Amino acid sequence: MRTVRAAAAIALASALTAVAGCGGGSSSGGGGSNESPKTLTYWASNQGPSIEADKKILTPELKKFEKETGIKVKLEVVPWADLLNRILAATTSGQGPDVLNIGNTWSASLQATGALLPWDQKNFDAIGGRDRFVDSAVASAGAEGQDPSAVPLYSLAYALYYNKKMFADAGISQPPATWDQLIADGRKISKDGKWALGAEGANLSNNIHQVFALGKQHGADFFDKAGKPTFTSDGAVAAVKQYIDFMAKDKIIAPGNAEYAQNQSLQDFAKGKTAMVLWQAAASTFASQGMKPEDWGVAPVPVPSGTPGTGQNLNSMVAGINIAVFNNTKNIDGAKKFVKFMTSDAEQKLLNKTYGSVPPVKAAQEDPAFSASDVKVLRDTLATSAAPLPQVANESQFETTVGTAVKGLFADAAAGKPVTTESVKAALTKAQQQMAQ
């Protein structure tokens, strides 16, 4: 009996203590130093088809940098699923990389933590000046009126990718330019196990990107000027409903897409099960799934009417990756040199070509490679009809709450439950209430 009791006590103690526990190391003051000027640690985000591919792409460039400056860069490619948590842990403990990539939508949230070096005039001058970068890309690097918390590295925008053969088979000669056309074309395609449009219904970030652009077209922002959430405005409700209705009412998205969260819609597209996807730089994924470049076409994301432009004809968020310097770096000068290297014209051309993205550096954009049809659509969208996601400190809460609401509505639509203006508004009201902390 004593052993049973002892075993019970041990099991109990370990099971109970696993419950609470939230904290981290100590923190340290702001500003970097130059204590170790010969090394840098760089956390790169996963941009290529795999982590290994990224290492292969980046390592020769880092060697080049080492040759130029004598600074050795230790590279770690961090998967997207872990990157934000790793940055948060680094912020809390003060132990992090010197230079890191961040998703540009996190810029304002991370800016609020004070973990990243602000890019004021002096710091921008050290990398060749703020004017070298496209304005909309810099605007997605931090809250308005504050020094950006990062520098744009790769820019992306949404485009409509369509399967040329499926369009031809359905007797459609050109990609849709308006949503009405998309629905009409979609109904022609969606039959016999084939579907018109793909979606990632359980992917919170993707949901946000889609409803943000639709929201702009309905004249809605998800935050007001003071940074307060306005998720339940008529425009926001209409935007979310429009997106869900592609599945619920128009029946041009397969119900199964409601549970997609790992780019399964791209696989469906590559297999010829789905004719269109709204995506950022999908070309390399399609190629890796066995498609040939002539199999698909790229067009701007549809708008309510007319052609993409500003105001209610915006059709994409400014997507992209920014490069930031961690405030606790022990090699601040080296870190800035590395950012300068990564945003140099030559590296911008090379890396953006490899990743299929658009350089946020104006001079690099002039390379003819970025005028090829695929990239040109992305480039034109960024230049004329894209806006950054709300640059507010609680952007990540917005992605979670509204993204989850959209996911839940997709689940309703997939299960055949009615999706009405009221049910959409109720879901968004709940999301907004959860922001009020």
- Judged by the rule CB under 8 A, the positions of this chain that interact with another protein are 1, 4, 7-8, 11-24, 26-27, 29, 85, 88, 91-92, 94, 109, 112-115, 201-202, 204, 254-256, 258-259, 261, 327, 393-394, 396-397, 400-401, 403-404, 407-408, 410-412, 414-415, 430, 433-434, 436-437
CB of 29 to another protein, least distance (A): 8
How is residue 81 written in tokens? 């699923």
CB of 22 to another protein, least distance (A): 4
Q: Closest CB to another protein among 85 and 420?
A: 85
| First vs last C-alpha separation in the chain | 50
Taking CA 112 as the corner, what is the angle to CA 109 and CA 116, rounded to the nearest 5 degrees?
90
CB of 91 to another protein, least distance (A): 5
CB of 17 to another protein, least distance (A): 4
**Rounded Cα gap, residues 67 and 73, in angstroms:** 11
CA–CA distances in Å: residue 278 to residues 256, 275, 287, 391? 17, 11, 17, 23
CB of 354 to another protein, least distance (A): 29
Q: Closest CB to another protein among 284 and 397?
A: 397
Q: What is the CA radius of gyration of the chain?
A: 23
Q: Closest CB to another protein among 13 and 346?
A: 13
Phi (first) and psi of residue 229, to 5 degrees: -65, 140
Q: Closest CB to another protein among 390 and 403?
A: 403
Q: Closest CB to another protein among 89 and 299?
A: 89
CB of 1 to another protein, least distance (A): 7
CB of 204 to another protein, least distance (A): 6
CB of 293 to another protein, least distance (A): 27
Q: Classify burial at 227, counting beta carbons within 10 Å of its beta carbon; exposed 0-12, middle 13-18, buried 19 or more.
A: middle
Residue 342 in contact with residue 115, Cβ under 8 Å?
no
Residue 120 in contact with residue 147, Cβ under 8 Å?
yes
CB of 390 to another protein, least distance (A): 15
Q: Closest CB to another protein among 155 and 257?
A: 257
Q: Closest CB to another protein among 157 and 427?
A: 427
CB of 422 to another protein, least distance (A): 18
Q: Closest CB to another protein among 91 and 315?
A: 91
Q: Closest CB to another protein among 259 and 345?
A: 259
Q: Closest CB to another protein among 26 and 173?
A: 26
